[in-house]
Amino acid sequence: MGSRSPPYPIEGVRTSPYPVDGVRTSPYPIDGFLALGDWGGVPDPPFVTPREVATAAAMGRAAEELGADFVLALGDNFYYDGVRDEWDPRFQDTFERTFTAPGLRSLPWFVLAGNHDHNGNVSAQIAYGQRSPRWHFPHPYYSLRLSLPGTNSSARLLLLDTVLLCGGTDDFTSGPVNGPGPGPGPGAAPTASAQLRWLQRRLSAAAGDRFVLVAGHYPLWSAGEHGPSECLYRSLRPLLRRNRVTMYLSGHDHNLQFLWEGGVGYVVSGAGNFMEGSKRHGGDLPPGSLRFFYGAPSSPGGFVHVRLEPEAATVTYLEATGRILHREVLPPRGV
């Protein structure tokens, strides 16, 4: 696959055909999208898992039946140590040759990094967008402006790098809350502060948007093996609540969850490659916040479909069998 010249720059790093932070005056029209986390195969042949293959096929069917304009990739894109460079064969083996269902072939992927990606070369994942028309990863954190077709309503999707915010963590390794700890390691604080300042500016700019969605790899709330993040609780939760964010989407825990706390919906979609049924941190959640949890070890995987309409944002959880597991309907901001 040859190199291509992207249409225009995003955040001053590289380019994308989608409107980010004032690059284009008219937002990109969207009906819905698919959200998938922790999907990144394995480092040995065949470089995929049966769950990833089954989930990829089911996503293709869902894109055709429910409608989808893009895929939101929620991190841990390549297990266990990311990629070496932009020519790493894992891009082909784990991504390009796996997500080949007709319903997915024309969809752009908007990508963010997880902790396993940071074990390798995240800059290479960003550079790969120059080589693939499907892969859009312009910057460690970036913003998409969206419009709801046939209306004057707009929405915004803000993608974060929670590893740069909170530091790295190995799966199944406990921190202070069995997840990302109090904050980044020495020397990383300026990077985290810059990202939070950027997020506050983007949230302020989104004051008139009907829906605002924020995405990152680490969950803020989770009943699963990793549990809630103390770092995100302190740094991100006040911003989500104060700016009336519609939902925060994440992965990291290898299951499907929906939580509601403080007027914000929390979507965990980390079932693209592994499935874990542990509710180890169920007792660490605000009472009544966990509305849905699915992590059956026998499951072939799962993902989320999000539909944005003027009157509601609908979150549908699907198993790779095609079975609808759960559905939540969230109101527009201020309603």
Residue 252 annotated as binding site = yes
Instruction: Please check if 217 is assigned to a binding site.
Output: yes
Three-state SS at 277: coil
Ramachandran sector of residue 41 (left: φ over 0; alpha: ψ -120 to 50; beta: rest): left
Task: Look at phi and psi of residue 75 and say left if phi exceeds 0, alpha if psi is from -120 to 50, else beta.
Answer: left
Q: Is 31 annotated as a binding residue?
A: no
In contact, 109 and 63? CB cutoff 8 Å: no
How far is Cα 242 from Cα 251, in angstroms, rounded to an integer?
A: 23
79 in a known ligand binding site: yes
- 115 is annotated as contributing to ligand binding: yes
The answer to whether 142 is annotated as binding is no
Pairing of strands 264-269, 302-309: unpaired
Q: Is 38 annotated as a binding residue?
A: yes
Cα dihedral 306, 261, 287, 267, rounded to 10, equals: 30
Taking the C-alpha atoms of residue 82 and residue 80, their distance in angstroms, rounded to an integer, is: 6
Binding-site residue positions: 38, 76, 79, 115, 217, 252, 254
Binding site, annotated residues for Fe cation: 38, 76, 79, 115, 217, 252, 254
